[in-house]
Amino acid sequence: MLRQAHSRETLSIQDIPAEDDALAGALMGAADNNTTGKFTGQTFATVDIKLSEGEDAGAALDKLVSEGARLIIADLSADALLKASERAKISGALLFNISPPTKVCARKTAAQMSCMSRPRGACWPTASRNI
């Protein structure tokens, strides 16, 4: 999972997202996959890379791919997501974009990216890699 810190400012304290909202879903998905994996001889793990300000998302994606990840959840800004998607296209990894869609992403998604948009906070059930 590749992610960046988001603003936690909201109009109401009821709307403040958990600091690990996306990661929690990924961990739950890996645990669920491991339950089934007992019967199929597979094991899954969630690898979390939280990027700091200005850190290269493409290099972080390369690190995940070198460790065997092929399905990667991305909670990144539009620019970082586009950089990561270029590297994913080269390596054959699949990105699942869980960040709010932006106009920059929307224009380039069909031509350059293998990603799916989900509303913030909605996690894909499978956020793991086969090890």
Least confident of 1-5, 20-24, 35-39: 1-5
pLDDT for residue 34 is more than 90: yes
Question: What region, left, alpha or beta, does residue 3 occupy, with left being phi > 0 and alpha being psi -120 to 50 degrees?
Answer: beta
Cβ atoms of residues 83 and 104 within 8 Å: no
What are the pLDDT digits (tens) for 83-124?
898 899 899 899 888 877 665 555 554 444 444 444 444 444
Q: Where are the alpha helices (DSSP H) in the chain?
A: 21-40, 57-66, 78-91, 103-112
Cα–Cα distance measured from residue 114 to residue 92, given in angstroms and rounded to the nearest whole number = 10
Q: How far is C-alpha 37 from the chain's CA centre?
A: 22
Give 59-93 as a 3 state SS string: HHHHHHHHCCCCEEEEECCHHHHHHHHHHHHHHCC
Check residue 112 and give its pLDDT: 45
Please name every residue paired with 74 in a beta bridge, in sequence order, or none if there are none: 2, 97
Categorize the per-residue pLDDT at 131 as very low, low, confident or very high, splitting at 50, 70 and 90.
very low
The pTM for the full model equals: 0.65
Cβ atoms of residues 124 and 98 within 8 Å: yes
- Residue 78 corresponds to which tokens in the numbers above? 């539009």
Cα–Cα distance measured from residue 119 to residue 100, given in angstroms and rounded to the nearest whole number = 6
